[in-house]
Amino acid sequence: MARDNIYENMQVTEAAPQPKDLRGQSKLQVVEEAVQKLQVSLQPDNASDASAKGSDSLQLLDEAQAGVRMLKDQLGNVSAAYGEIQIRLDHVSAAYGEIQIRLDNVSAARGAAQGRYRDVLTKLSRGWRFYGGNLYYFSQERKSWDASERFCVSQDSHLTSVSSQAEQEFLSKETKGEDHWIGLTDLGTEGSWRWVDGTEYRADTSRGFWARNQPDNWDQGIGGREDCVHIHPLNRNLWNDVNCTVPSRWICKQAHGQAGL
């Protein structure tokens, strides 16, 4: 309010707007006009009374100085406001960067989902079956257990695990009278069964899925033991361990998470 009072003493031009409406630009004009008047009053042939001229000049000088102080204050305020705006812009910029990162993530996730969707459609068009959120492939060819698993891996899947009675029944029905490899093996450590897709093998819940007297790791007299498991119609499609090199059909499973369904 001191500023306003100072300003109100500066009635130097009729054209000047009301003090509270003035912005920096017009205040500068006020100062310029005051300085102009000062210059005019200092010119020798423009004043008859030297004492009056001196008095006017001093008053104009005061007014000009007051104007300069006021402008400095204004500039200080503008500078502080600019700093504040800069801080807010920095915040906006940081928020924008964060949003950009999230958009990139959404875009990548959408791209991945589209890729999985295309993969699922391609598999279905090639005869894969959809059951319980998983995709299954029942081969027409016959291969060793190893070669069968390699085929499945090439299709982003594994030889199938069997996790429930319903899944066992689904597989049994779809094999249509042919023996098929599943992803169970004790290669490596005899009697230590594992699912090749990483599913935990549980001896207790799996007991009912083995065919009678299996697994028996039968020595077939040709130097081979039985370390790979197939399901066979002769055993009501229950599990039997056989020699891994025997050519057989096979079943791949692309599990729920992998299929993205």
What residues have CB less than 8 Å from 86, skipping those under 6 apart? Answer: none
Integer Cα distance of 72 and 35 in angstroms:
17
Shortest Cβ 215–Ca ion spacing (Å): 6
Q: Smaller CB distance to Ca ion: residue 141 or 190?
A: 190
Least spacing, CB of residue 226 vs Ca ion, in Å = 5
By CB under 5 A, name the one of 148, 241, 252, 259 that touches Ca ion: 241
Scanning 100-108, 119-127, 165-173, 237-245 for contacts with Ca ion by CB under 5 A, the matching segment is 237-245
Binding piece for Ca ion, criterion CB under 5 A, among 43-51, 147-155, 176-184, 236-244:
236-244
Point out which span in 16-24, 99-107, 110-118, 185-193 binds Ca ion (CB under 5 A): 185-193
Helix (H, G, I), strand (E, B) or coil at 125: helix
Stretch that binds Ca ion, among 85-93, 105-113, 235-243, 247-255 (CB under 5 A): 235-243
Residues touching Ca ion, count (CB under 5 A)? 9
Question: Least distance from C-beta 243 to Ca ion, angstroms?
Answer: 9
**Binding mask of the shown chain, residues 145 to 184, with x at each position contacting Ca ion by CB under 5 A:** ----------------------------------------
Tokens 């229950």 belong to: 238
Nearer to Ca ion, 167 or 241 (CB): 241
Closest among 157, 164, 174, 150 to 231, alpha carbons compared: 174
Q: Which 203-232 positions form the footprint of Ca ion (CB under 5 A)?
A: 214, 216-218, 226-227
Task: Give the separation between CA 111 and CA 105, rounded to whole angstroms.
Answer: 10
Q: How many C-beta neighbours within 10 Å does residue 67 have? A: 23
**3-class SS at 203?**
helix
Query: Is 182 exposed, middle or buried (CB count within 10 Å of its CB: 0-12, 13-18, 19+)?
Result: buried
List, in sequence order, every residue forming a beta bridge with 159; answer none if it has no partner. 252
- Candidates 192, 120, 183; CA nearest to 148 is 183
Binding region for Ca ion (CB under 5 A): 186, 214, 216-218, 226-227, 240-241
